[in-house]
Amino acid sequence: MTRAELRRPHAVGSAYERVEGRDKVVGAARYAAEFVRDEACHGWIVGSTVARGRITEVDTATAAAVPGVIDVLWHGNAHRLTEVDDAELMVLQDDRVQYHGRPVAVVIGRTLEAARAGAAALRIDYDVEPFHVQLSAHDPDLVVPDELNAGFPTDTESGDVEAGLTRADVVVDQEYRTPHLHNVPMEPHATTARWDAADQATVYDSTQNSSEVSRTAAQAFGLGAGAVTVHSEHVGGGFGSKGTTRPNVILALLAARLVDRPVTVTLTREMTFHLVGYRTPTIQRVRLGATAAGRLTAIVHETVEQSSRLLDFAEQTGESTRHMYAAPARRVTHRLSRLDVPTPRWLRAPGEAPGMFAVEAAMDELAEQLGLDPVELRIANEPETDPDSGLRFSSRHYVECLREGARLFGWSRPRPQGTGPWRVGRGVAGSTYPAYQQPSSARATARADGTFDVEIAAADIGTGARTVLRQIAADALQVPIDRVRMHVGSSALPQASGAGGSSGTASWGRAVTRASEQLCDRLTAVGGAVPFDGLSAEADTTDELSAQPALARFAYGAQFVEARVNTITGEVRVPRALGTFAVGRVVNPRLARSQLIGGMTMGLSMALLEEGRWDPAFGDTVNDNFADYHIAANADIGDIDVHWLDEQDDHLNPMGSKGIGEIGIVGTAAAVTAAVHDAVGVRIRDLPVRLDKVL
């Protein structure tokens, strides 16, 4: 190291606390429903009570007669929107109803209570049409989507799959199912909208992507770029459900336009089960062929999943299967069932979480049939290059994760004894998630007092994005971290990608680094001799990202679970889970640990508890609340132990980081079902592991 490098501060790699942590715990942080409180009135969304049909009458008189009700917004008086890609956003435009809970009106009241009372009094009549809400692999009208989300191909095939299965010594051929899963972030979706002029609006929204909401909202109202400014300073979680503009944004803007004053639309917990998307249920057939020595001869992964009548949302459930293990023959397919349900959307590791459950569960069954250790079976099928593209991996330390995880977990030690009716089992599964990056821009500005303002329309959804970007900026500016003020959470800041696909730190960190480096160059050029207050630099990463060499960039992990299963009651407990990950350089160990533990917690919840149910008779969700839709609470979670390798990867971004938001949920459920099988010999292939399935 040179002397200059030794002097240089290194904020990246240190366990800083969240910048806004104190504001949040003392209640000083303001969320989307907490702006313009004095002037804003409240909109209460009225959802359709039928699953499919036509509205024949909206009688607003009874609602309007409720004291405090200002007006009722419905398709008869709503502003006509310009079409946008997401048909879920084309609310209150006509009399059609495509699913139970679809917004059909918004009652606007001076208070939330008045709006709710007005909504209860509103009378709407429907012509009901036959509907269907249950996913079936035997749906005669299954659709082949044009492509999957994010542009992935629907079907891929290479090698001779049938021959691969025929010459295999052992074949696993099983169907795996995952249910509807709901995002349910702690802060329900909320929007406060205000029209500042006929063609200018300000929106406070709980979103993972203020730039996207700004663009889409402007487009929907036929306005130019920048016409809608979106602020989202603090966001109480999203898990994908706030990844794009949601109907609450459009409804708040429509309502504010109708009554010509600011309107806040807050979703109730129940509404979040209908209106913001959910993880599609899946039916997955997985076939694995292998030689007696445990080398895969074929991998076949065929998924049936659902979408709505409004649009084809085609989740990339089998995408990770294309990249995970070596096999001479492979086929991955996706089919969609269009049902009379809300459109699914992203939920933490959309695609990977359910897809890897099926494939990793099948790998465990294969290991059992072959009499091989499941860790060794995975290692035996490690590819040299990406099996799908043939590209080199930028780095791949999956084997190291398996070996190190096994060591830390004590995989080779004898399994603990159970007591009484409790049996103990252990399971392992692999994790992977792509290391995505998206174009973003950032601005860095020098102040006369030696401090810096760094701005980017990033979203901190509770992950600590603001904090890690401040660390990255401090290092790039070569100053102590307390000299940097980080500004995120507004579309008025330099345009940036959303907090999604575990790409935030990588994408925004690159832009922040470049803007900071360029500002340093400028400051060096002026030599500090002239007044430099306000000197700034702005960088956009679009060009450098497209110039990146083609490589397969993925993060990896291995998860080990100990489960206790009660042979009398069927209860399953997970006293211990351990994850070892290879995620590039960790920018902030405190926040990274939190993300990985959070992901694994959600994975345990997916394995043991979560299950959204749709009622075939009424076409409605049955369990749209926290009493009936079970989510893991503290008492459900034992010790979660998270480790990571010291992974160096120079082919990623200036920080050398891979995303960590989603990989923690990938693989957990398969490790749990493997452990349950190890304990009591029961294979559970449809999640969640309910006690009636165990017995």
Interacting span for ligand MOS (CB under 6 A) from 20-28, 234-242, 310-318, 410-418: 234-242
Contacts to ligand MOS from residues 189-218, by CB under 6 A: 208
Instruction: Report the residue from 237, 501, 619, 664 that binds ligand MOS according to the rule CB under 6 A.
Output: 501
Supply the minimum distance, in Å, between the C-beta of residue 665 and ligand MOS.
9
Supply the minimum distance, in Å, between the C-beta of residue 468 and ligand MOS.
16
Instruction: Using the minimum distance from each CB to ligand MOS, give the nearer residue, 109 or 350.
Output: 350
- Compute the distance between CA of residue 352 and CA of residue 67 in angstroms, rounded to an integer: 50
Supply the minimum distance, in Å, between the C-beta of residue 460 and ligand MOS.
13
Contacts of 183 by beta carbon, 8 Å cutoff, 6+ apart: 238, 239, 240, 241, 272, 276, 277, 278, 279, 347, 348
- Compute the distance between CA of residue 576 and CA of residue 161 in angstroms, rounded to an integer: 38
- Is position 662 annotated as part of the catalytic site? yes
Instruction: Using the minimum distance from each CB to ligand MOS, give the nearer residue, 491 or 503.
Output: 503
Instruction: Report the residue from 35, 99, 204, 346 that binds ligand MOS according to the rule CB under 6 A.
Output: 346
In whole angstroms, how far apart are CA 368 and each of 171, 362, 486?
11, 10, 52
- Compute the distance between CA of residue 131 and CA of residue 20 in angstroms, rounded to an integer: 47
Report if residue 659 touches ligand MOS, rule: CB under 6 A.
no
Report if residue 348 touches ligand MOS, rule: CB under 6 A.
yes
Instruction: Report the residue from 296, 347, 429, 645 that binds ligand MOS according to the rule CB under 6 A.
Output: 347
Q: Which of 233, 562, 610, 662 is catalytic?
A: 662
Q: Which helix (H) or strand (E) holds 672?
A: helix 668-680
Report if residue 243 touches ligand MOS, rule: CB under 6 A.
yes
Report if residue 281 touches ligand MOS, rule: CB under 6 A.
no
Question: Binding residues for ligand MOS, how many (CB under 6 A)?
Answer: 11
- Compute the distance between CA of residue 442 and CA of residue 208 in angstroms, rounded to an integer: 17
Tokens representing 148 are 């999957």
Report if residue 240 touches ligand MOS, rule: CB under 6 A.
yes
C-beta separation of 415 from 424 below 8 A: yes
**Chain position carrying tokens 């702005």:** 538
Q: Which of 145, 105, 109 is CA-nearest to residue 122?
A: 105
Instruction: Using the minimum distance from each CB to ligand MOS, give the nearer residue, 190 or 299.
Output: 190
Which residue sits closest to ligand MOS, CB atoms considered?
240
Q: Which residue type, as a one-letter code, is found at position 411?
A: W
Instruction: Using the minimum distance from each CB to ligand MOS, give the nearer residue, 238 or 354.
Output: 238
Supply the minimum distance, in Å, between the C-beta of residue 546 and ligand MOS.
21
Count other C-beta atoms under 10 Å from residue 420's C-beta.
8
- Compute the distance between CA of residue 621 and CA of residue 612 in angstroms, rounded to an integer: 7
Supply the minimum distance, in Å, between the C-beta of residue 500 and ligand MOS.
3
Q: Which helix (H) or strand (E) holds 432?
A: strand 422-434
Tokens representing 347 are 């939920």
Report if residue 101 touches ligand MOS, rule: CB under 6 A.
no
Instruction: Report the residue from 281, 354, 500, 584 that binds ligand MOS according to the rule CB under 6 A.
Output: 500
In DSSP terms, 579 is beta-bridged to: 559, 642
Interacting span for ligand MOS (CB under 6 A) from 109-117, 320-328, 341-349, 684-692: 341-349
C-beta separation of 262 from 256 below 8 A: yes
Q: Which residue type, as a one-letter code, is found at position 182?
A: H
Interacting span for ligand MOS (CB under 6 A) from 223-231, 347-355, 365-373, 582-590: 347-355
Instruction: Using the minimum distance from each CB to ligand MOS, give the nearer residue, 240 or 318.
Output: 240
Interacting span for ligand MOS (CB under 6 A) from 199-207, 236-244, 373-381, 468-476: 236-244
C-beta separation of 74 from 60 below 8 A: yes
| DSSP-derived pairing of the beta strands 552-566 and 572-582 | antiparallel
- Compute the distance between CA of residue 654 and CA of residue 660 in angstroms, rounded to an integer: 16
Supply the minimum distance, in Å, between the C-beta of residue 346 and ligand MOS.
4
Q: Residues in the site for ligand MOS, rule: CB under 6 A?
A: 208, 238-240, 243, 346-348, 350, 500-501
- Active site amino acids: 662
